[in-house]
Structure 1
Amino acid sequence: MTLLNEPRTRRRRLGVATAAAGLLAALLTAVPAAATPDPGDAPKAPKKVSKSDAADTKRAIADGKIPAPDEIVHSDNIEHLGNIPKDALPGTNSDLAFQGKYAFAGNYDGFRIFDISNPKKPETVAQVLCPGSQNDVSVSGDLLFLSTDSSRSDSSCASTTQPATEKSSWEGMKVFDISDKRNPRYVAAVETACGSHTHTLVPERRNVYVYVSSYSPSAAFPDCQPPHDGISVIKVPRKAPQKAAVVGFPVLFPGEGPDGGGNPGSPTNPGVSKTTGCHDITVLPSEDLAAGACMGDGILFSIKDPERPKVIDRVQDNVNFAFWHSATFNQDADKVVFTDELGGGGGATCNAEIGPNRGADGIYEIKGWGDKRKLVFKSYYKIPRHQADTENCVAHNGSLIPVKGKDLMVQAWYQGGVSVWDFTNSAKPKEIAYFERGPLSADQLVGGGSWSAYYYNGHIYSNDMVKGFDVLKLNDKRTDPAKRVRLRELNVQTQPEYFNKH
């Protein structure tokens, strides 16, 4: 382990007061890679910003309004315990999952497994090279699931990029056996319409159902034809994962015409994405309930029959939401937090020009009972710290912090960092802690920052797209009770019942 001391300390002048912190970094020996990362899945090139925007960024850094490139700032109640930089997998880091003493981290070039039994000194256990964006990852028992949402030459881990216009191209779900964490074994592949941008597990004793979210069909794509107005459902037998197969494609947005019945988007609703599928789904198995963030729509649906989900309610926000990205239930299952990924994750939207209601979270309360339940909008939440115009920043992936009687959440905001916030009062959400780095560049917009930030067994884990795997410790009397909650497994999109209500 190498300790890198941060010589400067400075308090941020926007939002909650913070102090610069030391950076604990570990570059650990990787499992040898057998293939070559595919440049076809490389992140987008940096974007130029105007001279005035670059000058504003440099002035804000000089004035102490934002941290300098690579400088770490955080609220006094967060401690940065450690960081593992990217190693043999140079691609963009993506989602996280957890099981026992292990964390599983997706990367556009494959996935990584960390031993987090000592959160101060996380260690790399395995790195699996298997290119195919965006490689969102989930685990259940001895199985690991990996989403492939880029058109590949075949389903192997040695595949290369290939146009989606070619019938032989492949996109979908990959399944690995992780009974030996040091040697994951690729056991199954299931092709799905339009690939798998994200996925959500609905686990049962004998089978694991996988809800596959994907979108953006085209008449030119043989395996991604419009209308793409539903989700693929895969059934995976635990004892025979090689028999995994698609068992249905439930339509969530029925309607006439080639585009189905989802939000028509622009020009009918200017600035809003047309609904051609879902981006992400979160299930609450204890309540047989799910929430879908589906581009131009937010939905609530029943999963009593996991192969045939039934939509209960559907909402739109054609004023402030551009792209419904993800969803999180509170512990009492009477609220849903939806996120708006304005700019697709590549834009600088955490500034005064965009304002507090766009690129934000939307808090909805669930009213009524059974199939009569309705989603009712209450308020927006956005980080209170303005970011530079060279920083991509928008609401992204987060999880609950399990404190009984409270609605607390930790969330990633790309280069806006990690925010801990309280939405117990749905109408008045507030930030209570944060962690962030300065911009990757003061001269151009370079994609980076925290993709996912989740609370698991007493610590916050963040997968930074560029900087690697971070471990944070939250020291706050409002969140301390969560340290007593222990889980054997956590896939954030398959929300656990933290406190038994049944």
Structure 2
Amino acid sequence: MRTKTRWSIAAIAVALLVGATVPATADPELDNLDDFDVKSRPAPAEISVPPGKADHRTFPSTRNMHALGHSSHPASFEVPPAEREISSDIAFWGDLAIQGNYNGFRVIDISSPAKPKLLSHPECNGDQGDVVVWENIVVRSWNSPAPEGRLCMGEPVPVGFEGLHVFDIADPENPELLTAVEFSQVGAAERGTADGCGSHTVTLVADPDNNRLVVYSNNSSGDNRPVCDAMDIIEVPIDDPAAAGHIGYVPLVGGSLGSNNGCHDAGAILGEVNMLTCASGHAANVFSIGEPGGGTLENPLWLFNIEEEDPESGVKVGAPGAGRWHSATFSFDGEAILLGWEPGGGGQARCTADDPDINKSLFAYSAADGAKLGQWVLERPQGHDENCTIHNYNMVPLRSGNDVVASGHYQAGSRVVDFTGIQEGVQPESIAWADPPSLGPGPFCTVMWDGEPTPTDGCRLGGAWSTYWYNGFLYESDITRGLNIYRVSDRATAGAIKLSHLNPQTQEFTIH
């Protein structure tokens, strides 16, 4: 086991920032590892299953990856857009998991991870459905202009609407729609353009001293919508969330390829660091949102950009038609930034043995100046009939200060990867994984990375949209299946801080 002995845990800064105490106690299930069959870096336990028929208990996996509960939510991309139920991102409050989908979100009781219980599914049929939660407030993304006839909890959604909806889940079995914040008009007025931008993902920073939540809405614009090269900022009053409104936007800084094609996702770290990284196009923008670097929550201060290119294959992150940066997180001391990207837009097979390493890597950079520290390459090649990228992930909050990441990779499933020592040149290594079988042929995965046709009959889209560590368990949002829950029994993940809540894109404290 690798350790970072130079770190010790400081006081949990979230207690000062958000007025809530996060108990600095390890998950009790992980305190006594002798109770488990702990095998560091185990050999895979392969299981043969029919394509597309397995539940997560039958996925090929390492022996330290233990499948627990499942909350079913069947879905497919191969239906009309208005009928899609695709599971997307997750947020957590106490014993509740809020799992977004293309038709609203599901509120799931996870007090027993072996037996999750669906409490409600408020319907809101606009695509993406990224979610954040604070106490009884849920904010949900609406990505694309609304066609005629769309509804949100029974309320008509105006044609062309793009933006956010705000909900009250004080009664988790009966959520209420409070308001909508439309960017297609307000954002456009701010920019002086004909239209605004949708909300692809959201990142939440609580500011209770000012009775508000600050929500960064990240869009996924194409070259035909350069106006969307920005993050929209929304303010949600904590004691009156129905009064939520658009308060501004942060222009992105282009890189070597010019305009930066939208902020797809943003990861923030608070505590003693106060930084935000926008996974944008080909040039990830790194901002300071407070002391010591300057800037504020409403006016982030741009620091530098991060770009990446593979000198052997010539593949560049964010090049036209190649994909874009996707998701960002920090080491808990704020010294390193981790970035993934989405070659092929998530609809292609980009983790095959034929793909260059850059297509199937999670990268680490210095948070001081953007210098590259290293990268982890997905070690288990996927088939040409499996859509795959490094998608959504978070850092495990370990009292040791070690850097361990939980990550979802579409049809490559879920991984736990140890990045400890990356600043000193130590190579990252996989700790555990669960990798589902192919969903079989379909209309996607048609082109290889070099432009040649895929040597299969395509693929169906599916797999792990997001995988996050939360209080001793991995929660995997499976696009076509629903919510899968795992426990990892490995010393590398022992000693995690128990959290009262988690919005995975926001690290509310630092660890030194």
Q: How would you bin the TM-score normalised by the shorter chain?
A: 0.7 to 0.9
Query: SS state of the match for residue 364, structure 2?
Result: strand
Shift of 1:217: 5.7
Aligned partners of 1:194 and 1:217 also within 8 Å: no
Query: SS state of the match for residue 170, structure 2?
Result: coil
Q: Which residue of 2 aligns with 1:298?
A: 284
Counterparts of 2:414 and 2:337, CA distance in 1: 20
Aligned partners of 1:296 and 1:316 also within 8 Å: yes
Shift of 1:126: 0.7
1:114-125 pair list within 5 angstroms = 114-125=108-119
Shift of 1:345: 0.8
Residue identity in the other structure for 1:315: I
Aligned partners of 2:266 and 2:278 also within 8 Å: yes
Residue identity in the other structure for 1:17: A
Partner residue of 2:488 out of 457, 460, 474: 474
Q: Which residue of 1 aligns with 2:504?
A: 492
Counterparts of 2:222 and 2:181, CA distance in 1: 18
User: Structure 1, unaligned stretches of length 5 or more?
Assistant: 1-14, 22-63, 163-167, 220-224, 254-260, 266-273, 368-373
Q: Which residue of 2 aligns with 1:240?
A: 240
Residue identity in the other structure for 1:475: S
Q: Residue by residue, what CA displacement relative to the aligned partner does 1:247-292 show, whole Å, maximum 9, x if unpaired?
A: 1122232xxxxxxx44536xxxxxxxx6222101111121221111
Q: Which residue of 1 aligns with 2:375?
A: 380
Aligned partners of 1:152 and 1:160 also within 8 Å: no
Q: 1:498 to 1:218 in 2, by over 3 A?
A: closer
Partner residue of 2:128 out of 126, 134, 149: 134
Shift of 1:169: 1.1
1:24-39 pair list within 5 angstroms = none
Counterparts of 1:195 and 1:449, CA distance in 2: 25
1:251-266 pair list within 5 angstroms = 251-253=251-253, 261-264=254-257
Query: SS state of the match for residue 357, structure 1?
Result: helix
Partner residue of 1:196 out of 195, 199, 222: 199
Counterparts of 1:67 and 1:340, CA distance in 2: 30
Residue identity in the other structure for 2:66: E
Q: Which residue of 1 aligns with 2:3?
A: none
Residue identity in the other structure for 2:106: R
Q: Residue by residue, what CA displacement relative to the aligned partner does 1:101-157 show, whole Å, maximum 9, x if unpaired?
A: 110101101100110101111100111111111000110122101000021148851
Residue identity in the other structure for 1:460: L
Aligned partners of 1:413 and 1:451 also within 8 Å: yes
Aligned partners of 1:152 and 1:159 also within 8 Å: no
Two-structure CA RMSD over aligned residues (Å): 2.3
Instruction: Please report the TM-score for the alignment, with normalisation by the length of structure 1.
Output: 0.77
Shift of 1:366: 2.4
Q: Which residue of 2 aligns with 1:80?
A: 67
Aligned partners of 1:67 and 1:73 also within 8 Å: no
Partner residue of 1:425 out of 410, 417, 421: 421
Does residue 461 in structure 1 map to residue 448 in structure 2?
Answer: no
Q: Which residue of 2 aligns with 1:314?
A: 305
1:84-99 pair list within 5 angstroms = 84-86=71-73, 91-99=85-93
Q: Which residue of 1 aligns with 2:401?
A: 405
Counterparts of 1:459 and 1:226, CA distance in 2: 40
Aligned partners of 1:263 and 1:275 also within 8 Å: no
Residue identity in the other structure for 1:139: V
Q: 1:72 to 1:357 in 2, by over 3 A?
A: same
Q: Residue by residue, what CA displacement relative to the aligned partner does 1:74-100 show, whole Å, maximum 9, x if unpaired?
A: 101110012121169961100000000
User: Structure 2, unaligned stretches of length 5 or more?
Assistant: 1-40, 76-82, 184-195, 291-295, 311-315, 319-323, 442-456
Counterparts of 1:90 and 1:216, CA distance in 2: 21
Query: SS state of the match for residue 227, structure 1?
Result: helix
Counterparts of 1:161 and 1:183, CA distance in 2: 20
Counterparts of 2:226 and 2:490, CA distance in 1: 49
Instruction: Please report the TM-score for the alignment, with normalisation by the length of structure 2.
Output: 0.76
Q: Which residue of 2 aligns with 1:325?
A: 326
Query: SS state of the match for residue 495, structure 2?
Result: helix
Aligned partners of 2:86 and 2:101 also within 8 Å: yes
Counterparts of 2:118 and 2:202, CA distance in 1: 25
Shift of 1:357: 2.2
Residue identity in the other structure for 1:321: V
Shift of 1:315: 1.8
